[in-house]
Amino acid sequence: MNDKPGKKITPALDALELLKADHDKVRGLFREFEDLKDIDDEDGRKGRLVDEICREVATHTMIEDEIFYPLLRSVIDDDDLMDEAGIEHAGARELIGQLETMFPGDDHYDATVTVLGEEIAHHIEKEECDMFDAARNAGLDLDELGAQLATRKEELDDGLPAQDIPAEAVAPRGSARQAQRPPN
């Protein structure tokens, strides 16, 4: 699978298991942020957590936009469902872009993260119900699709550029930029 040092080798998941695992991870990260939201002296921890949220969401939306959604669109007859999902991804990228220019403690920082979390929660609910059912019913090879998604996700995690997706959607929000915050 992967013999790179420091990389965790995980058993192969089918596509829906992989996407659900991503969803569960992001839900947990947003819950963790909510626990920190009203604590003033946790800005550094908040920033690192939001960086991780944004990386996870950006990578997840890209593997869906590049692989899962086009395949699903080709086998189901529900353009509205697929269009809504694409627009929801665009909304998430917009909020991530806003967070890229903000720092913990800024006006509306916590609110922006909260809105992103709410939008992602709605998207996950719709996806896990409607899209996952559609994928199962379409007879897709979910094991092969899972392997494709996992491979692309690993490439993105390793820093390869997105395919036909705006570069700002993958730009990591590293702590270095946060450390360079201008003084108040």
CA angle 69, 120, 135 (to 5 degrees): 30
Positions in the chain whose pLDDT score sits under 70: 1-11, 160-184
Supply the DSSP string of 81-92, one letter for each residue: HHHHHHHHHHHH
What pLDDT sits at residue 41? Answer: 76
Q: What is the dihedral of CA 125, 126, 128, 131, to 10 degrees?
A: -170
Q: Considering the entire predicted model, what is its pTM?
A: 0.80
Structure tokens at 137: 């019913």
Distance CA 32, CA 34 (A): 5
CA distances from 136 to 80, 86, 110, 139, 181 (A): 18, 20, 37, 6, 47
At CA 111, angle to CA 105 and CA 113, rounded to 5? 90
Position 184 scores a pLDDT of: 44
Q: Quote the pLDDT of residue 37.
A: 83
Check residue 9 and give its pLDDT. 46
